[in-house]
Amino acid sequence: MTKFAVFTDLDGTLLNHHDYSYQDALPAIANLRARHIPLILVSSKTRAEMAHLCQELDIQDPYVCENGSVIVLPKPWVQQFNVDTSTLTDAGEYWLAFRGAARDEILTIVKANKGDCPFVGFADMTVEDVIACTGLSHEAATKAMQRDATEPLLWPQDGAGSEEFARKLGVHNLQLLKGGRFYHVMANCDKGDSVRYLLSLYQSYYGASVHSIALGDSQNDLKMLKAVDTAVVMPHPDGSYMSDKGLIGELHAPYPGAKGWRYAVEQALQQ
């Protein structure tokens, strides 16, 4: 019997753009659970932000936070899959697999190399500061600040000094990624690295290859989509799709968000 594993982005993929709802995806999630197919959430969100969603959806599988910088492995799962914990970090009910530097290491390097750069990091902000520049609720802002392996930087619009700062970070095997609102300091890792790491654990346990499926909608998801057997590209709210020459034979979901996610997962499993 073919073994499957499904990896998915959240915002604009499993979750709707406009209301962040996953309701339309629930039948497909229930089908995965009934067939014992793991559903691994892969997002730029923090562990604190994602833990609540996993609890709501009753997901007992690992999940990937902060763009692949840290993987959360539930302890019962680690025990079942006979995962070596010698390189993992104990976090109570979970083991954490860091794919690069922990946040404390990152903050030390950022502080030592800041010089005259005009950025302000999350570590220097209050919850009220984060609310003011993001529009998040107090609860959401608090969870967004609980980071394990990345540091967002608020930089003046012209990005002055960012290229030189990125060069300094590179010496320490860190990278500076420009997002929509923030620059992000993180290790040289990505969503694709985390997908390959987890697939290796599944394949080792089952003693056979696992057919992998991934769903995403943005450039940030490309390396994840290229790391699997079946890539599903989700449409943007305007109906357009991300395109990349490196994606071959990918599926296109018919609708954006949770509704399209449901149809795409069912189609990918049928294929």
Buried b (16+ CB within 10 A) or exposed e, 171-199: ebebbbbeeeebbbbbbebbbbbbbebbb
* Residue with the two structure tokens 């800041």: 114
What is the distance between the alpha carbons of residues 265 and 246, in angstroms, rounded to a whole number?
21
Of the residues 9, 61, 190, 217, only one is catalytic, namely 9
| Dihedral sign from CA coordinates of 191, 192, 195, 200 | negative
| Dihedral sign from CA coordinates of 197, 213, 18, 21 | negative
Q: Looking at the DSSP assignment, which residues form a beta bridge with residue 7? A: 40, 214
| Dihedral sign from CA coordinates of 197, 269, 62, 69 | positive
**Which H or E run contains 201?**
helix 191-206
What is the distance between the alpha carbons of residues 199 and 192, in angstroms, rounded to a whole number?
11
Is 9 in the active site? Answer: yes
Active-site residue set? 9
